[in-house]
Homo-oligomer: A and B are copies of this chain.
């Protein structure tokens, strides 16, 4: 990712002509401040020292909703979990959020009415459900994709049925 490719041989299959001619490229009369590409900003990977409690520091609390489930069944904090989490941090993927059923219920009911909530609604939801606004946004994105997929599948079934109906009527 973001590997720079100043590689040597990039013009093997190309007619060696003024493809990217100097003067053409030298059309860079642009304010182009080149900066080395940085890491993709993973706020949840930074190790938080003393603080630990919510709302104190700007973003990033790692333990968003671990205690928000209604079953009283708190998710295990086994060393294995911690280990995997650390590993994830290396990989750079945000630990998968586990929404509680209450959270899901509310999100679903909002989705019923408006599947494209604006930033303000998302913020409100985030506050109410103790989630990051980002999680809300992603949830709605994935929810829309799911709806679309189900549409696609049902349409496919309908088409299939119509076709088989045609076939059977022809056989009569």
Residues of A within 8 A of B (CB): 1-12, 14, 16-17, 19-20, 24-28, 30, 32, 34-35, 37-41, 46, 49, 58-62, 105-106, 108-110, 112-121, 124, 127-128, 147-148, 150-157, 160, 164, 167-168
Cβ–Cβ contact B37 & A118, under 8 A: no
CA A38 – CA B148 in complex, angstroms? 10
Copies of this subunit: 2
A70 to B34, CA, bound (A): 29
Q: Which of B105, B124, B152, B156 is A24 in contact with, Cβ under 8 Å?
A: B124
- Give chain B residues whose Cβ lies under 8 Å from the Cβ of A39: 150, 153-154, 157
Q: Contacts A4-B108, A62-B156; is A40 near B150 (CB within 8 Å)?
A: yes
